[in-house]
Amino acid sequence: AVKKDNLFALRALLDNYPIIQKTKTDQYTLLHEAAEDNQYYLAKFLIIRGINLKAFDHQHRSALTIANEQHNNVSCLIKKALR
């Protein structure tokens, strides 16, 4: 749902399954993926739903680090949420 930029599908998944804090084998969270793909509204939704903002991937990068590397709007959103 995140890779397809589908907020409605993501909401349905999160409403029915406790997957918000799940990670892939590389320790990417849903927020890491949203940050990587500059999906501002999906990232905002995940933050509102309580995703861990300080989770690190296997390279010890947070979603904020990835957003900063991509120079996208998600970094501003995560910075505000961390305050």
pLDDT (tens digit per residue) in 46-83? 999 899 999 999 999 999 999 999 999 999 999 999 99
pLDDT of 10 reads 77
Residues 6+ apart with CB under 8 A from 4: none
pTM: 0.80
Res 1: pLDDT: 64
| Residue 28 token pair | 């990417």
List pLDDT tens digits, range 3-47. 677 777 877 777 776 677 777 677 889 899 999 999 999 999 999
Q: Which residues contact 19 (CB under 8 A, 6 or more apart)?
A: 13, 30
Per-residue model confidence (pLDDT) at position 27: 83
Q: What is the CA radius of gyration of the chain?
A: 11
Helix 40-48, helix 7-16: angle, nearest 10:
20
